[in-house]
């Protein structure tokens, strides 16, 4: 079996996003970038499947600017066998990303596509669902447990009411939630080895796809600030304020 795993380069989740003064977007100049946390779970799961002998090859895919190579090298250091980078300087919507992933699936013929459930920058939570729709494959989103049994995938999903289990045919698209696994760190020898692993670069224009965005970002604003609060001395004062000032209890 072969797995294609999608990874996205995003602003480090520990860094607070700063809105540009001209409101055109987020200032990413010199900002610390990293692999999207949910993509780390997807990569980890793919590697564990290979370590368990279920999967023979893990191919990491990223779509973005040249610097996304860093994120792919990270995936290779974690254990992916090879990588593909589809180069574009445009910030694409999930629909366009899904079309590109579909094209890569048709090129690579994987049995499973693993992605993170959402990126922590645009917070769309769409790509996995869209890829499976375009391929006509089943989807299992927000996965917290994956077992491959008799050619099908048994997936536990994190839903608002608890945990849901579904069984999907293969090939399938699965999107990872945080509890799917605990991602490993890359060891230094593996980081060095990753530099020599194959990484194929494809220019987006060679794919001949319509990847035009359907939305225009008119402006990006700071969220409304909360009025500053007060510190209370003790529990009695807190309860008094909640009763008589905020009137919420």
Partner 1 sequence: MSILVIAEHDNASIVGATLHTVTAAQQMGGDIDLLIAGNGCSVAAQAAAQISGVNRVLLADDISLEGLLAENVANLVVSLAGNYSHVLTAATTFGKNFMPRAAALLDVSQISEISEVISADTFVRPVYAGNAMAKVQSSDSIKLITVRITKFDAVAETGGSATIEAVDAVADSGLSRFVGVSSSESERVELTSAAIVISGGRGMQNGENFHMLESVADKLGAAVGASRAAVDAGFVPNDYQVGQTGKVIAPELYIAVGISGAIQHLAGMKDSKTIVAINKDSEAPIFQVADYGLVADLFVAVPELDKAL
- Judged by CB under 8 A, the chain residues 222 through 241 that form the site for partner 1 are 222-223, 226-227, 229-232, 234-236, 238-239, 241
Q: Which of residues 76 and 95 has its CB atom nearest to partner 1 in the complex?
A: 95
Choose, by CB under 8 A, the member of 57, 108, 111, 121 that binds partner 1. 121
Q: Which of residues 162-181 bind partner 1 (CB under 8 A)?
A: 162-169, 177-179
**Which range of residues in 55-63, 66-74, 133-141, 198-206 is near partner 1 by CB under 8 A?**
133-141
Count of all residues that appear for the chain in the document:
249
CB atoms within 10 A of CB 155: 25
Residues 6+ apart with CB under 8 A from 19: 25, 26, 27, 220, 221, 222
| Per-residue DSSP letter, 19 | B
User: Residue 133, interface with partner 1 (CB under 8 A)?
Assistant: yes
Choose, by CB under 8 A, the member of 66, 159, 195, 198 that binds partner 1. 159
Q: Which of residues 2 and 241 has its CB atom nearest to partner 1 in the complex?
A: 241
Choose, by CB under 8 A, the member of 58, 95, 186, 194 that binds partner 1. 95
Angle at 85 between CA 114 and CA 99, to 5 degrees: 60
Least distance from C-beta 193 to partner 1, angstroms? 30
Strands 9-11, 33-35: pairing is antiparallel
User: Residue 154, interface with partner 1 (CB under 8 A)?
Assistant: yes
Q: Which of residues 71-90 bind partner 1 (CB under 8 A)?
A: none
Residues 6+ apart with CB under 8 A from 235: none
User: Residue 9, interface with partner 1 (CB under 8 A)?
Assistant: no
Q: Which of residues 181-220 bind partner 1 (CB under 8 A)?
A: 213-220
Per residue, the 3-state secondary structure of 120-187, as one string, reads: CCCCCCCHHHHHHHHHCCCEEEEEEEEEEECCEEEEEEEECCEEEEEEEECCEEEEECHHHCCCCCCC
Least distance from C-beta 105 to partner 1, angstroms? 14
Residue 117 in 3-state DSSP? coil
Strands 9-11, 82-87: pairing is unpaired
Least distance from C-beta 201 to partner 1, angstroms? 26
User: Residue 14, interface with partner 1 (CB under 8 A)?
Assistant: yes
Least distance from C-beta 114 to partner 1, angstroms? 16
**Which residue bears the tokens 């050619």?**
151
User: Residue 33, interface with partner 1 (CB under 8 A)?
Assistant: no
């Amino acid at each position: 079996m072969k797995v294609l795993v999608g990874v996205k380069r995003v602003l480090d989740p520990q860094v607070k996003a700063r809105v540009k003064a001209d409101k055109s977007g987020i200032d990413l100049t010199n900002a610390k970038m990293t692999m999207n946390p949910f993509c780390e779970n997807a990569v980890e799961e793919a590697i564990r499947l290979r370590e368990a002998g279920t999967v023979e090859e893990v191919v990491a895919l990223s779509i973005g600017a040249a610097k996304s190579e860093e994120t792919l090298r990270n995936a290779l250091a974690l254990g992916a066998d090879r990588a593909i980078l589809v180069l574009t300087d445009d910030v694409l919507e999930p629909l366009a990303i899904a079309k590109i992933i579909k094209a890569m699936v048709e090129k690579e013929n994987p049995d499973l596509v693993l992605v993170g459930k959402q990126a922590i920058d645009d917070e769309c939570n769409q790509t996995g669902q869209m890829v499976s729709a375009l391929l006509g494959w089943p989807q299992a989103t927000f996965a917290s447990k994956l077992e491959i049994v008799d050619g099908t995938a048994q997936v536990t999903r994190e839903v608002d009411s608890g945990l849901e289990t579904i069984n999907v045919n293969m090939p399938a698209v699965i999107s990872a939630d945080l509890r799917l696994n605990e991602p490993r760190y890359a060891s230094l020898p593996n980081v060095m080895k990753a530099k020599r692993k194959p990484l194929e670069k494809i220019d987006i224009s060679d794919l001949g796809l319509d990847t035009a965005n359907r939305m225009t970002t008119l402006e990006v604003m700071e969220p409304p600030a909360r009025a500053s609060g007060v510190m209370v001395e003790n529990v009695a004062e807190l309860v008094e304020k909640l009763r008589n000032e905020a009137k919420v209890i």
